[in-house]
Structures are given as structure tokens and as C-alpha cells.
Homo-oligomer: A and B are copies of this chain.
Amino acid sequence: MTERPQDVIFVGNKPPMSYVLAIITAFSSGTAKETTLKARGQAITTAVDVAEITRNRFIKDLKVTKIAIGTAEMPPREGETRSRMVSTIEITLTKE
């Protein structure tokens, strides 16, 4: 098994609890001390929900150690010519 001191979880449009479970699994494997949630567009709200639910209900000693926002360029949709800009968020959770 390889060491993964920092896991990254991409938050999309599944229900928040599936990502909460992914975080709990990452931390209970014993190797992870830090997990970063990455999301863009409407999934940004889900990422914040996931961080809050995990912290308030499941892993009480989890701290939000970093939050960064940014912008990413997405390829144009079919039939469109211009690429779209979407907002992004990264939330880093660290276990004491």
C-alpha cells in the first residue's frame, strides 16, 4: 500500500453523504492526516456542506485549515464557441 499523506476528493453532483463517507474512510485508514475537497460550479455549495457535516456530526477534531477560491476555464459546450469560466473551491481538512 502506498502512502498518501494528502488525499484529494473531487466533489460533484452526488449526494453530500457519499463524499462525507469518502472523508471518513480516508481518515480511518490511518495514513491520512489531511484531505482536500475540490469542487467547481454548483458543487461548491455541496463541498461546503460536506465539510460542515463531517466536522459537526462525525469527526469532531477536524479543522478547516485552508480554503482557497479560484477560476477555471472550461471547454465550450457543444454548439457554442466560447469557453466558459467557472468558480472553484478547495477546502483542506486536517485531523489534529
Q: Which A residues are within 8 Å of any B CB, using their own CB?
A: 41-42, 44-45, 48-49, 51-52, 56, 64, 67-71, 85, 87, 89, 91
Contacts and interface: CB of A to CB of B under 8 A. Distances in A.
6 contacts: A41-B45, A42-B42, A48-B89, A52-B71, A67-B67, A69-B91
A42 to B, nearest CB: 6
Nearest to A43: B45
Given A67-B69, A69-B64, A48 B44 contact: yes
Contacts of A48: 44, 69, 87, 89
Contacts of A49: 87
A49 to B, nearest CB: 5
